[in-house]
Amino acid sequence: MSDVLQEMGATFLGSRLKRLGERMQAGAAKVAQDAGLPVQPAHMPLLAALDGQALTVGQLVQAVGVSQPGITRGIGQLADLGLVASRPGEDGRQREISLTPEGAAVLARAKLHMWPRVEEAVKALFGGQPEGFLAQIAAIEAALAQTPIDVLAARSSPQTLSIHEFSDALARDFHDINAEWIQDMFQLEAADREVLENPRAKIVDPGGAILFVEARGLGIVGACALQKTGARSFELTKMGVRASARGLKAGEFLLKAVIARAQELGAEPLYLLSNAKCAAAIHLYEKLGFAHDAGIMAQYGARYARCDVAMRYGAA
């Protein structure tokens, strides 16, 4: 099996660090058990924070950097073991947590028998020099304290969709993407097969174009063709987006690119033939400047048996 967290790199860094922490804590738990300690590695930061002083839950949250529910849960577990106790603070409003004599004894054993062994084991993982990694962690923690991941993500604008020109390597994608939606809603007609099975000969070589949209992480998810049907006339045809990618606005991104290419080619008219069942696609065409046109229907509509919608770009 492949390692998903490793393959996803920076995207899954939080999950990967959590996995790393769980693996290290599992080993540290065995070291604690061998040392006769009744606590888990997750309790150690609390014991260390309470070494020689009493702290409120809020102060422990700041000292350890864990959420208040996590601190409260950990303190409750230590209290059940008889290792910590609470008493009213000086102002009487907050309770202070401190080690019991038993807790202080456990901490002393941890310092003597567990912590040095874990420290040496970690150094061994880094070839004796963990300082660089620890400095990186400190820098990341400081950066996150200033700007959380969700804020950074909101500021970013990665290129998630991109346009690709036709190549023979993409001919199968052109066929499959269009065959998927046509067979889902209609039946493949002879005119469909002729184009889908020979895209270079029927579309590209006669002066048309085929563009593809790639979604980052998903691959090629959509295709659309401009088929030259006259000296300057072009039909926008065979536009489809894989069902798995619908809702990502890949179709709109692709359609804008195809319209721009048609304008570069001097298309006049630029038209399309469709069916009323394709309501979502027709709405998109209308949104980007196509209008229903009886003249286009009369001149080109007989090409497909399923055609009952004809549209022209930029029509009044």
Q: Between 209 and 95, whose confidence is greater?
A: 209
Overall CATH class of domain 4-125: mainly alpha
Per-residue pLDDT tens over the stretch 247-288:
889 999 999 999 999 999 999 999 999 999 999 999 999 999
Q: Quick one: pLDDT band at residue 95, thresholds 50, 70, 90?
A: confident
Average pLDDT over residues 159-172: 93
CA distance 286 to 279: 11
Q: Assess whether pLDDT exceeds 70 at residue 152.
A: yes
pLDDT confidence band for 138 (50 / 70 / 90) = very high
- Sheet with 84-88, side-by-side order of all strands: 55-56, 95-99, 84-88
The amino acid that residue 148 corresponds to is P
Domain regions of the chain by residue span: 4-125, 161-313
Q: How confident is the model at residue 92 (pLDDT cuts 50, 70, 90)?
A: low
Going through 153-299 in order, the beta strands assigned E by DSSP cover: 161-165, 209-215, 219-228, 234-241, 270-274, 290-292
Q: What is the pLDDT of residue 161?
A: 92
Q: For residue 243, is pLDDT > 90?
A: no
209-215 sheet: strands from edge to edge: 161-165, 209-215, 219-228, 234-241, 270-274, 309-313, 290-292
Q: What pLDDT, in 10s, does the model give residues 10-35?
A: 889 999 999 999 999 999 999 999 99
186 pLDDT more than 60: yes
pLDDT of residue 187: 86
The span from the CA of 150 to the CA of 145, in Å, is 12
Q: How high is the pLDDT of residue 105?
A: 95
The token pair that represents 162 in the structure block: 């991109």
Same fold for the pair 4-125 and 161-313:
no
Bridge partners (DSSP) listed for residue 209: 226
pLDDT of 316 over the 70 cut: no
In the predicted structure, residue 315 carries a pLDDT above the cut 70: no
For the whole model, what pTM was predicted?
0.63
Q: Name the packing angle between helices 13-34 and 115-125 (round to 10°).
A: 140
Q: What is the mean pLDDT of residues 173-195?
A: 90
pLDDT at 65 over 60: yes
Look at domain 161-313 and name its CATH class: alpha beta
Report which residue type is found at 100. Answer: T
- DSSP string covering 61-125, please? HHHH---HHHHHHHHHHHHHTTSEEEEE-TTSSSEEEEE-HHHHHHHHHIIIIIHHHHHHHHHHH
- The pLDDT of residue 253 is 95
User: What H or E segment, with its residue span, contains residue 56?
Assistant: strand 55-56
Q: Is the dihedral of CA 172, 177, 180, 185 positive or negative?
A: negative
Instruction: Give residue 156's pLDDT.
Output: 74
CA distances from 180 to 120, 175, 185, 240 (A): 59, 8, 9, 8
